[in-house]
């Protein structure tokens, strides 16, 4: 974060939960990073949530990430993948 700020570039910092699986979600940590490190939407470095898709946890966890991003008023980004043996078109 410090390097992004010192560089003077406009950047979006996407924060993600550690690990995988529903137990790896850490909403409190995401909230802490938003309030302590990225409190303003007007700075050159703005926050986003690198939200999980259901490939990393349950569908419920993915929905919870989108709701968390909405609650924190941050952008959400997600990598779209498919689990082995499934198709991406559903």
- Given a cut of 70, whether residue 84 has pLDDT beyond it is no
CA angle 77, 51, 17 (to 5 degrees): 135
Asked if residue 37 belongs to a domain, the reply is yes
* CA dist., res. 15 & res. 53, Å (int): 14
Domain extent, residue 54, equals: 2-77
Asked if residue 90 belongs to a domain, the reply is no
* CA dist., res. 38 & res. 41, Å (int): 8
- Given a cut of 60, whether residue 88 has pLDDT beyond it is no
Asked if residue 44 belongs to a domain, the reply is yes
- Given a cut of 80, whether residue 65 has pLDDT beyond it is yes
Residues 16-49: pLDDT tens digits?
888 778 888 899 999 999 999 999 989 999 999 9
Q: Sign (positive/negative) of CA torsion 90, 74, 14, 9?
A: positive
Which of 18-22, 73-77, 80-84 ranks highest by mean pLDDT? 73-77
């Amino acid at each position: 974060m410090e390097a992004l700020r010192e560089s003077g570039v406009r950047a979006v910092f996407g924060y993600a939960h550690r690990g995988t699986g529903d137990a790896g979600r850490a909403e409190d940590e995401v909230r802490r990073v938003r309030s302590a490190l990225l409190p303003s939407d007007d700075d050159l470095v703005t926050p986003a949530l690198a939200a999980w898709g259901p490939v990393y946890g349950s569908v419920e966890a993915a929905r919870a990430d989108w709701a968390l991003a909405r609650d924190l008023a941050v952008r959400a980004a997600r990598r779209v993948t498919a689990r082995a043996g499934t198709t991406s078109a559903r």
